[in-house]
Amino acid sequence: MTNMNKQVKLISRPVGLPKLTDWEISSSEIPSINDGQVLIKIIYLSIDPAMRGWMNEGKSYIPPVGIGEVMRAGAVGVVVESKDNAFQVGEHVNGLLGVQEYVSMPGSELNKVDASLAPLPMYLSTLGMPGMTAYFGILNTGQPKEGETVVVSGAAGAVGSVVGQIAKIKGCHVVGIAGGADKCKYLVDELGFDSAIDYKSEDISKALRTHCPKGIDVFFDNVGGDTLDAVLAQIRFKARIVICGAISQYNNTTAVKGPSNYLALLVNRARMEGIVVFDNAAHYAEAAQEMGGWIAEGKLKSREHIEEGLENFPEVLLKLFRGENFGKLILKVTDE
Amino acid sequence: MTNMNKQVKLISRPVGLPKLTDWEISSSEIPSINDGQVLIKIIYLSIDPAMRGWMNEGKSYIPPVGIGEVMRAGAVGVVVESKDNAFQVGEHVNGLLGVQEYVSMPGSELNKVDASLAPLPMYLSTLGMPGMTAYFGILNTGQPKEGETVVVSGAAGAVGSVVGQIAKIKGCHVVGIAGGADKCKYLVDELGFDSAIDYKSEDISKALRTHCPKGIDVFFDNVGGDTLDAVLAQIRFKARIVICGAISQYNNTTAVKGPSNYLALLVNRARMEGIVVFDNAAHYAEAAQEMGGWIAEGKLKSREHIEEGLENFPEVLLKLFRGENFGKLILKVTDE
């Protein structure tokens, strides 16, 4: 222990893609803790598309990260000091710990994770926020029925890959949209998707006509933009469009591209609905239990893409927006 | 009776606003009828925004009107000859009778209307398709709850005016968006809306902030375009957006303007859903009964804008798209 706490702070609001100069990497003393608090050494940081939204000024589902503040991030860490009887030194926890090496937090804001049941990074992917987002988004909002056609964008990502596998478990015909032949091969060969569309080399509309000959019943969208429009043009009667994200639009410097084909909702009496995972917090444990069962049965697989070094956070975040990760993007801060 | 049947046929697919040359007015013999059929003399034609969609090639919720075919229209008429025992000469009916003076149809495609209970034009407005659209759209899809804020675009139109009045009956705070001071005054003074926004002279976003200080729970949209975007920016948690139409976009020669602010659905966990009235056909009678009760109690008022002369159809349709009608636009073909 060096007695110092390295932190990544947001120092200016990015316009378009975040620049390296939007961040400051600095060190301060490791915080002391008060009664009811826990000191955590952070091991793995979750790198998520939602981070881009947290960097913008303005009303959203969660307040923006303030200028000069440590960047918000989901993370897994280990308790190194505790003044909360519910947490013991050496236990692992996850929560919104931030892009830093250490954090002191009230125990009430932490969840324990069991490193003996699953590898720690999995608590940031399938058993963490992305997995929960996928689980509640596809089941509660997408409501896939056996035999229906389900399309997922960002299909090789942390959320999309779980969405597609759950839809397969529910007996659907599942088509993923992802970037690159490797990711597409992975979706079909490893995760059991029925087919995959490489948006980098294929015409999405044409490929959807081939792979979804009956049309699309459920679309789980992480991407937005032209992908959303292409799908809307091929939805079926009473289709459900789950709006989970729009990574294609997050770094726009012009207005978001709204879906020109939204009147397909009218023609098909279809529904488009936004989801935010935090609304389901009361049911995370049940979801984790069911997904844990699927993992044990080999029906639900995950893949993590682990980069290293807290100081690399600004660059690693850009990999996400460039689609260079393959699997859930995680930044390792220190050894377990 | 002249033994001739004047008809308005679509002879070319319009680009943008329909032109007078997209129509042909011609006469043919009054059709004879076969067993099971009924000959109807058409009295009132319903002039609806949906007509524009029916004129386009391509998949929709109903096939397009073919080139050279009589234009589709809802209408009310009187039976002048019948080979269906269920229909007697002199009875009034409504159905998709078309823009013509006479039509022969199977009785199974007709609904009887009672001219002694309500004036015939009302069977094309509040007790017809627009009223049914409003009733099922706001109640089943909008699901307004007491105390919620409901905004309606095209509020002085045949659908919008009923939507707003039903939302008032349900105890909501109701704001209408309409074009012109006269229509706005009518919404508040005659129909009991809490306030109205004149899109021709006011900044919609600013006016919504004034009239919907808590934000918007339900939006019933007949207009689309910038109006939809302005509302999306001010929706509340779990808001419901009912997509009934997009009259601002129907005559576009460029792509439909998709809602740039659609990610407000995500931030607010909100839902946008399209409706088509025909899906509720099995429940029209119940709806008519409930609305008839409200009409009798003076809680539900309607206003019809009646033009005359079948041959004026092409010009009257343009009045609709220019917003020149005030009340449900109806074309009178002959005296009752």
Topology (CATH level 3) of domain A4-125+302-332: Quinone Oxidoreductase; Chain A, domain 1 (3.90.180)
Tens of pLDDT along chain B (336 residues) come to 457 999 999 999 999 999 999 999 999 999 999 999 999 999 999 999 989 999 998 877 889 999 999 999 999 999 999 999 999 999 999 999 999 999 999 999 999 999 988 899 999 999 999 999 999 999 999 999 999 999 999 999 999 999 999 999 999 999 999 999 999 999 999 999 999 999 999 999 999 999 999 999 999 999 999 999 999 999 999 999 999 998 888 777 777 889 999 999 999 999 999 999 989 989 988 999 999 999 999 999 999 999 999 999 999 999 999 989 888 999 999 998
Q: Which residue's structure tokens are 């539900």? A: B300
pLDDT at A150 over 80: yes
User: Kind and range of the H or E element at B24?
Assistant: strand B23-29
**Portion 197-226 of B in contact with A at CB < 8 A:** 224
Give residues with Cβ within 8 angstroms of B255, minimum separation 6.
A260
Nearest to B211 by CA among B201, B203, B200: B203
Q: Provide the pLDDT confidence category of residue A249 given band limits of 50, 70 and 90.
A: confident
B63 touches chain A (CB under 8 A): no
Cβ–Cβ below 8 Å for B259 and A257: no
Which residues of chain A make contact with B244, given a CB cutoff of 8 A?
266
Check if A249 contacts B (Cβ < 8 Å).
yes
Mutate to test the interface with A, among B214, B273, B278, B279 (most CBs of A within 10 A): B273
Are A313 and A322 in contact by the 8 Å Cβ rule? The answer is no
Instruction: Identify the CATH number of the domain defined by range B129-278.
Output: 3.40.50.720
CATH topology of domain B4-125+303-332: Quinone Oxidoreductase; Chain A, domain 1 (3.90.180)
Q: Which of B199, B112, B175, B168 is nearest to B298 (CA)?
A: B168
The predicted-structure confidence for A23-53, as pLDDT tens digits, reads as follows 999 999 999 999 999 999 999 999 999 899 9
Banded pLDDT at A195 (limits 50, 70, 90): very high
At residue A252, the pLDDT reads 79
Q: How far apart are alpha carbons B35 and A106 in whole angstroms?
A: 82
In the stretch 269-288 of chain B, residues with CB closer than 8 A to chain A read 269-276, 279
Q: What is the pLDDT of residue A77?
A: 98
Q: Do B258 and A259 touch (CB under 8 A)?
A: yes
Where do the domains of chain A lie?
A: 4-125+302-332, 129-278
Please give the pLDDT value at position A81. Answer: 97
Tell me if A270 and B274 make a contact (CB, 8 A cut-off).
yes
8 Å CB contact between B241 and B272: yes
Domains B4-125+303-332 and B129-278 share a fold: no
Which residue among A244, A245, A257 places its CB closest to the CB of B258? A257
| Calpha distance A246→A94 (Å, rounded) | 26
Partner A contacted by B267 (CB < 8 A): yes
Residue B278's closest chain A neighbor by CA?
A: A269
Minimum CA–CA partner of B279 in chain A: A269
B62 inside 8 A of chain A by CB: no
Statement: residue A332 has pLDDT above 80: yes
Beta bridge partners of A195: A175
Distance CA B5, CA B33 (A): 14
Distance from CA of B58 to the nearest CA of A (A): 11
Helical spans, DSSP H, in chain B: 50-54, 129-136, 158-169, 181-189, 204-211, 225-232, 264-267, 284-296, 313-321
